[in-house]
Structure 1
Amino acid sequence: MPINVYFAAGAARWPQYEAPLKAAFAEAGLDVALSNAAPDPAAVDYIVFAPNGDISDFTPFAGCKGVLNLWAGVEQIVGNQTLTQPLCRMVDPALTEGMVEWVTGHVLRHHLNTDLHVLNQDGVWRNGAVPPIARERPVTVLGLGELGRACGRALAALNFPVTGWSRTAKEVEGIRCLSGEDGLTEALAGAQIVVLLLPLTAGTENLMNAERLAALPEGAVIVNPGRGPLIDDDALLAALDAGHIGHATLDVFRTEPLPAAHPFWAHPKVTVTPHIASETRAPSASRVIAENVRRGEAGEPFLYEVDRARGY
């Protein structure tokens, strides 16, 4: 009997994922019947899902062994009371690489003050603006999950002094690791550039409020490719207008697409990028999905299973 996998991640993604998923299942030696058509729920063994996909009520899928999310973030689904099956978030090697590239690029952009020259091609020879070297520019990464650790290591390899903060204590080679409320205050106090890579939970929403923005050194830069609601938008705008925060480069927002009238678009100290810091890549993500189906069939623990109590 084939393993029945229901692709419920949205019709728009089906052409992108159909062939890579079939190839990954074959490569893993799995006999899979893959479909994006509404199936008999009782026959479904696994669901490939995205939060804006095809289903919101998981109750009929009583025999489903696992819901395999295509996104790294699960905040839009983890609280669904009908979802009692194991839920796995996506940790895609290519997604991680893409995030490292985006974060490193923008940290270097702010460190080197590249905008001063790129945005001012006006005939003025601005050779007096010389940045410090990387080891003189402290960077703090908030969030030491898969993405935060990878970005922190990449920045440390460029000689930035990197401090990482997480809600629970962690150890990452080459990174000074802090945790807890006192650790957060210390991590912010020494940061000239802050990178936000925390999951969105009740405990992290509005983490960067007026008080914590004020704890940063004057002129500090915020780089947020994590989750929009990690930042209190009004507090950030006030800190930018007051000159306490030097710049904010934002890839994620409370409402996406970011409304055209939102003040972030026109603010001279804000760079908006349209949620492009990193994308799940179908070929590599499909191999992660196939591995979790293999594990489920073999009775092995799933990769990246979500802890419902923690929310990620």
Structure 2
Amino acid sequence: MSLLLIAKNRDFTSLKEALLEKDPNLDVEIWPRVQNKERVQFAVCWQHPKHVLDSYPNLKAVSSLGAGLNHLLDDEDLPESTRICRLVTTSLKDQMAEYILNAITNYRLHIPKYISQKQTGKWAQHSAIPKSSSSVGIMGMGEMGQAVAQELVRQGYLVNSWSRSQKDLDGINSFSGQDGLSSFLEHSKILVNLLPLTNETDGILDLELFKKLQKPGFLINVGRGSHLVEEDLIYALDTGQLDGAYLDVFNTEPLPENHPFWNRQNIMITPHIAAITPAKEAADVIVENYKRALSGMDLMFEVERERGY
């Protein structure tokens, strides 16, 4: 039986080495050089090409190479019987919390403004925004969202959370469902998006939502690019509804050179680097789920297809 790694334009050398270090008896193959497709029972994918997974008749389970799932959930060739799981590690959660904490700190201290001033030789001071005026609203309370929320509470922030169902965590004001969304936004100034991408959340970051935030609000999008209505963000920035944004994910990646976001001083752009899994940690989770899939056991971070996460 073999474990297959599939992705476009990705070097799997370090991950394969980590997998074999974890279990030297593994048979690890890298697409597209697959010797025996019938032996493949577990695959690890990231933005895989269309019509690839239907070539493996004995595929039992597929893991995303990150927290994102849409490349798998949207694959019409993937049989309903094939189980899907995410890749989540302690390092991923720690990195995400660190990224968001830094984004909030940079916003509060006006670092983007100082970067702009340096380019023009302008000396001007700006009063830092106190934590007491920087309530943080986190959309999405899965593994990542909970880790981020708990770290922000430890750092002294007032934290609100919003999710599909009620999640009660110490020190966090919890809101849930459509009935709780407006109240959640009204209590939040800094909005962090960590939602999964589903039919219900596609385009959720729009002008109507921005208008309900404490004014001026600040957006951090580390969910998916399709969560954000890009023209609504630009309008919200131009009209003062939002004061700035930190974006790590985009509708099109890499972000095109002529995209209007590049010319916005109040939009910080990072190239999808908020949380990247080290190969050794990824190997630990992948090997465990590979063995569970072969044994018919429940998978770690298994996905409910009908819910989309």
TM-score normalised per structure 1: 0.91
Which of these residues, 75, 99, 104, is aligned with residue 70 of structure 2?
A: 75
Distance 2:171 2:288 in 1: 30
Distance 1:114 1:10, change over 3 A: closer
Map 1:232-243 onto structure 2 (within 5 A): 232-243=229-240
Which of these residues, 19, 24, 34, is aligned with residue 38 of structure 1?
A: 34
Secondary structure, aligned partner of 2:185:
helix
Structure 2 segments unaligned to the other structure (5+ residues): none
What's 2:129 paired with? Answer: 131
What's 2:303 paired with? Answer: 306
Cα-to-partner distance string for 1:108-150 (whole Å, 9 max, x where unaligned): 1112323344543547362x61432x24421001110111111
Matched-pair contact (CA < 8 Å) for 1:6–1:39: no
Aligned length: 303
Distance 1:11 1:239 in 2: 36
Secondary structure, aligned partner of 1:268:
coil
Provide the identity percentage. Answer: 30
Which of these residues, 152, 156, 160, is aligned with residue 153 of structure 2?
A: 156
Distance 1:76 1:171 in 2: 31
Secondary structure, aligned partner of 2:117:
coil
Work out whether 1:276 is the aligned partner of 2:268. no
Cα-to-partner distance string for 1:180-208 (whole Å, 9 max, x where unaligned): 11211111112111111111111101101
Structure 1 letter corresponding to 2:16:
E
Secondary structure, aligned partner of 1:115:
helix
Distance 1:236 1:182 in 2: 24
Distance 2:209 2:124 in 1: 37
Secondary structure, aligned partner of 2:231:
helix
Q: Could you tell which deviates more after superposition, 55-64 or 270-279?
A: 55-64
Distance 2:83 2:288 in 1: 15
Cα offset for 1:253? Answer: 0.7
Which of these residues, 190, 196, 199, is aligned with residue 196 of structure 2?
A: 199
Distance 2:282 2:71 in 1: 19
Cα-to-partner distance string for 1:179-237 (whole Å, 9 max, x where unaligned): 11121111111211111111111110110111111111221100111111111111111
Cα-to-partner distance string for 1:137-179 (whole Å, 9 max, x where unaligned): 2100111011111111111111101001012222223211111
What's 1:21 paired with? Answer: 19
Give the CA RMSD over aligned residues.
1.9
Q: Could you tell which deviates more after superposition, 201-210 or 32-41?
A: 32-41
Q: Could you tell which deviates more after superposition, 255-264 or 76-85?
A: 76-85
Distance 2:6 2:86 in 1: 15
Work out whether 1:7 is the aligned partner of 2:33. no
What's 1:52 paired with? Answer: 48
Matched-pair contact (CA < 8 Å) for 2:40–2:59: yes
What's 2:168 paired with? Answer: 171
Matched-pair contact (CA < 8 Å) for 2:189–2:216: yes
Structure 1 segments unaligned to the other structure (5+ residues): none
What's 2:57 paired with? Answer: 62
Cα offset for 1:305? Answer: 1.2
Cα offset for 1:309? Answer: 0.4
Distance 2:17 2:307 in 1: 34
Cα offset for 1:42? Answer: 1.6
Structure 1 letter corresponding to 2:205:
M
Q: Could you tell which deviates more after superposition, 191-200 or 106-115?
A: 106-115
Distance 1:302 1:217, change over 3 A: same
What's 1:87 paired with? Answer: 84
Secondary structure, aligned partner of 2:243:
strand
Distance 1:125 1:59 in 2: 60
Secondary structure, aligned partner of 2:54:
coil
Matched-pair contact (CA < 8 Å) for 2:203–2:228: yes
TM-score normalised per structure 2: 0.92
Distance 1:20 1:10, change over 3 A: farther
Distance 1:125 1:232, change over 3 A: closer
Distance 1:79 1:116, change over 3 A: closer
